[in-house]
Amino acid sequence: MSSRGTGISTGISTGINHPALHLGREVVNELGAGPLAHSDDHRAQTAHTLLVNTDLSIADVAITSGFSSIRQFTATMQSVYETTPTALRGQSAGSTATRQPSGSATAITLRLPARPPFDGVGLFAFFLAHAVKGMETAGASSFARAVRLPGGVAEIELRLDEPYAITCTARVDDIADLSPLISLVRRLLDLDADSAAIDASLSADVTLAPLVAARPGIRLPGSLDIEETLFRTMIGQQVSVAAATTETC
């Protein structure tokens, strides 16, 4: 198996109990590919999103997505998507360029697809019920707030525009923040979950089967900030959800 497939460097000691080797084996056994392969796939997914949604140059997309060179970028995209970055960009022909300088920030709009089935309505209902007053704005199909990124604070708005797609509008101080932003939003909305497999597994239980059929594609809301989520959870254990959304430090 190639080093890309296992994600294990050939320079690592081959000792049977080496932690890195053990981790690599476990990841391959559970997910079918190693850590490095998953890292490549993650960068490629971010690059694909930027290629088809923005007017960023090929070089900017490569750097923003975390690739160290254009050559590495092209090779990885060819491996994952079996086509070139230029060809992928051609898929967005006719769309409106979305990168627009505004003062010191950059306004950008991205379309993030979700694997069907996708209970987007349920996710936004959760955000609406848990929105913290003065910090978050939520509606039946929208959610907006500020989020801290490596290059500064970004204002983001998420909107459920299609059954299986989310529109993310953001203002970032540094385009290098687009990659971590996309990762955070995908984690918040659990967009990478294999809902079909999850629903199939849960439906094997006779008690859960009708519940899954009634609400297919339920996702587990994620977190934009781990420490913030910890405090929100602790407060939520002491008072009602409604009261917790009004608490201030």
In the prediction, which pLDDT does 6 show? Answer: 46
Question: Pick from 110, 120, 115, 100: which is nearest to 46 by CA?
Answer: 110
Does any domain span residue 95?
Answer: no
Does any domain span residue 46?
Answer: yes
Q: Are 116 and 226 contained in the same domain?
A: yes
Task: Provide the pLDDT confidence category of residue 199 given band limits of 50, 70 and 90.
Answer: very high
Q: Are 215 and 134 contained in the same domain?
A: yes
In the prediction, which pLDDT does 100 show? Answer: 54
Q: Are 107 and 76 contained in the same domain?
A: no
Q: Are 139 and 201 contained in the same domain?
A: yes
Is the model's pLDDT at 157 over the cut of 90? yes
Structural domain boundaries, residue 205: 100-244
Percent of the chain with pLDDT over 90: 43
In the prediction, which pLDDT does 118 show? Answer: 95
| 23-42 tens-digit pLDDT | 767 766 766 666 676 678 88
Strands (E), the chain: 100-102, 105-113, 136-139, 142-149, 152-162, 165-172
Is the C-alpha dihedral spanning 235, 240, 245, 248 positive or negative?
negative
Q: End of a domain among 65, 90, 115?
A: 90
Are 217 and 116 contacting, i.e. CB atoms less than 8 angstroms apart?
A: yes
Rg (Cα) of the chain, in Å, rounded? 20
| 161-174 tens-digit pLDDT | 888 899 999 988 88
Q: End of a domain among 57, 90, 123?
A: 90
Does any domain span residue 24?
Answer: yes
Strand ranges of the sheet holding 100-102, from the earlier edge strand across to the other edge? 100-102, 105-113, 165-172, 152-162, 142-149, 136-139
Q: End of a domain among 61, 90, 119?
A: 90
Count of structural domains, the chain: 2
Task: Taking residues 206-218, report their average pLDDT.
Answer: 95
